[in-house]
Amino acid sequence: MNETDARKILCDACSKLYLKDLLVSAGGNVSIRTDDGFLITPSGRNKGSLFPEDMVKMSMAGKVVGKGKPSIEYKFHLSLYNLRTDTNAIVHCHPIYCTALAVKSEKLRTDLTPEGVILLGDVPMVPYCTPGSDDLVREIERTYRSSAAILENHGAVTQGKTMEEACNRMEELEFQAHLNLVVGNVEGLSKEEVSRLRRM
């Protein structure tokens, strides 16, 4: 994707995620792959008030191209892009229900509804590591094949072939986290139905 279009898409995504209370204040970070690297949200900025020119351009070697200070989490974004050629957008947020599960170290169940199974699949719990650390990168790398993950005592991350897909997954992840907390220990869909849905 060319840089001009990517900047607008990334800016629009941040605004929508902010309005849905998925991004809060300066927390979280969002990125999108471009033809020659990727763009990521700047460090310490409110995601609901960014402009296309605020996004920080980075090379696939992890170097800033041009100006700006990238989010401290740029390293795990870079790692996921290098590991998953089909990933073109990454969303990392601290939404309240996902973060509640993260604080409780409670694995999210996605077998309660068809949408959870289809859009998310299995959602691993990534052990807590200091934000921005190489340890966090290594732990996230262990789960790179998952479309979504909960980060213990931290938040959540989703990835997608498009920005729309990555954002939809984050919205669905937060819905499923809320549902998990509301319904408690209930019986989910049968294993047969889960298998059928995953083949769709």
Q: What is the pLDDT of residue 7?
A: 98
Tell me which H or E stretch contains 148.
strand 148-151
Q: Can you give the pTM of this predicted structure? A: 0.96
**Which residues are the active-site residues?**
73
Residue 59 pLDDT grade (very low, low, confident, very high; cuts 50, 70, 90): very high
When the pLDDT of each residue in the chain is averaged and rounded to a whole number, the result is 96
Between residues 184 and 140, the one the model is more confident about: 140
According to CATH, the topology of domain 3-198 is L-fuculose-1-phosphate Aldolase (3.40.225)
Q: How far is CA 36 from the centre of its chain?
A: 21
Distance CA 80, CA 74 (A): 10
Q: What is residue 135's DSSP assignment? A: H
Residue with tokens 């969002």: 30
- Provide the residue ranges of all domains of the chain, joining segments of one domain with +: 3-198
